[in-house]
Amino acid sequence: MRAWRVHQYGPHREVLSLEDIPPPAPPPDGAVVEVAAAGLNFPDLLAIAGQYQVRAPLSFTPGFEAAGVVRAVGPHSRHRVGDRVVTFAPWGAFAEQVAAVDDALLAWPAPLTAAEAANLLVTYQTGHVGLVHRARLAAGETLLVLGAAGGTGLAAVQLGKALGARVIAVASGEAKLAAATAAGADLVIDHRATDFVAAALAATDDRGVDVIYDPVGGDTTERALRALAWEGRLLVIGFAAGAIPAIKLNRVLLRNIALVGLHWGAYFQHDRATIARTHAALVELCGRGAIKPVVTRELAFADLPDGLDTIAARGVIGNLALTVA
């Protein structure tokens, strides 16, 4: 089968190669999926560069998530040949076939295309587990989403609205603001043209926002804290800007705020029930049209490096998908 391979860590243009390798065998308690589409994510760049929290063992096929059809099952699998599934597959999604254990094989929601379904795990699970399970976002609260037109950000905007929050989206440029508006944001702020902290305070009568969804990091995080209300929660999602911020804890104490971390992939090691429960909630939200991955570009299998270029250049709106079958 064809698969994208990494034999040494480095910039994706230098280390990715398209190869023919033997197809995988199903694990005893899992299956082999023929991949229809795979989702691209910012963490793919980190994994390929050897900078992801968990280093992929060399050599490896990158790609965290895919949608496809079960082609072979292990003797103890719950699945059947022909099941349509989405799979969390660190690593291996950028290939014609991927093997996964049953707990990583979840239902493909009927209304979604392959490209949409392939993007339902990383960004939407991160958004839902982050907002509901970790930050306890309640209906009627105000949610500020940073990087709101990116992969995790746009999912958080949709989910925030679906959960009954008032959503303030922060992004740069007309196209990104338009995407956040289309995803349901109540207010969009262009951080290149406006002081987003002042704008968020003005929009909340100086009270501040209840939850900040932060996939950006760097200086942005420290500034954003000033827009957080009494008993607000800063949800730490990632560091797209590169720098990991250091927060002065007196500010946490003085305003009774909480710093809440999320490493979604770690739930697979520690608490798979939360992933399954969250998937059921996402399927229900998809079913009634409350959320839907926004795939702004579908790439041919050979064009994976182009898609990763777009992510590296801060050019992605929503999600990108690799068409495999």
User: DSSP string covering 7-20, please?
Assistant: SS-S-HHHHEEEEE
Give the range of 82-90, 143-151, 244-252, 276-284 binding ligand NAP by CB under 6 A.
143-151
> Is residue 281 near ligand NAP by the rule CB under 6 A?
no
Give the range of 69-77, 81-89, 108-116, 261-269 binding ligand NAP by CB under 6 A.
261-269
Total of residues contacting ligand NAP (CB under 6 A)? 30
How near is the Cβ of 144 to ligand NAP at its closest, in Å? 13
Give the range of 104-112, 193-201, 221-229, 310-318 binding ligand NAP by CB under 6 A.
310-318
> How far is Cα 100 from Cα 294, in angstroms, rounded to an integer?
25
Helices (H), 29-173: 42-49, 114-117, 122-128, 151-162
Taking CB under 6 A as the rule, which mask of x and - marks residues 171-210 in contact with ligand NAP?
xx---x----------------------------------
Q: Are 252 and 259 in contact (CB under 8 A)?
A: yes
> Is residue 144 near ligand NAP by the rule CB under 6 A?
no
What does the longest C-alpha to C-alpha distance in the chain come to? 61
HSE at residue 160, side-chain half, CA atoms within 13 A, is: 32
**3-class SS at 150?**
coil
Nearest position to ligand NAP, beta carbon: 150
How near is the Cβ of 258 to ligand NAP at its closest, in Å? 16
| Owner of token pair 């398209």 | 18
How near is the Cβ of 69 to ligand NAP at its closest, in Å? 26
> Is residue 124 near ligand NAP by the rule CB under 6 A?
no
Q: Are 148 and 286 in contact (CB under 8 A)?
A: no
> How far is Cα 239 from Cα 271, in angstroms, rounded to an integer?
24
Residue 200: Cβ-neighbour burial (10 angstroms; 0-12, 13-18, 19+)? buried
Of positions 39, 62, 68, 238, contacts ligand NAP by CB under 6 A: 238
**CA 46, chain centre distance (Å):** 14
> Is residue 215 near ligand NAP by the rule CB under 6 A?
yes
> Is residue 150 near ligand NAP by the rule CB under 6 A?
yes
Of positions 48, 72, 122, 137, contacts ligand NAP by CB under 6 A: 122
User: Which residue, 176 or 297, has its beta carbon nearer to ligand NAP?
Assistant: 176
> Is residue 126 near ligand NAP by the rule CB under 6 A?
yes
How near is the Cβ of 2 to ligand NAP at its closest, in Å? 25
User: Which residue, 32 or 143, has its beta carbon nearer to ligand NAP?
Assistant: 143
> How far is Cα 179 from Cα 177, in angstroms, rounded to an integer?
5
How near is the Cβ of 201 to ligand NAP at its closest, in Å? 19
Q: Are 81 and 54 in contact (CB under 8 A)?
A: no
Return the H-helix or E-strand segment holding 219: helix 218-225
**CA 95, chain centre distance (Å):** 20
> Taking CB under 6 A as the criterion, which residues in 38-77 touch ligand NAP?
41-43, 46
Of positions 4, 88, 108, 264, contacts ligand NAP by CB under 6 A: 264
Q: Which two tokens stand for residue 189?
A: 């702020």
CB atoms within 10 A of CB 302: 11
For binding to ligand NAP (CB under 6 A), which residues are involved? Answer: 41-43, 46, 122, 126, 147, 149-153, 171-172, 176, 215-216, 237-242, 262-265, 311, 314, 316
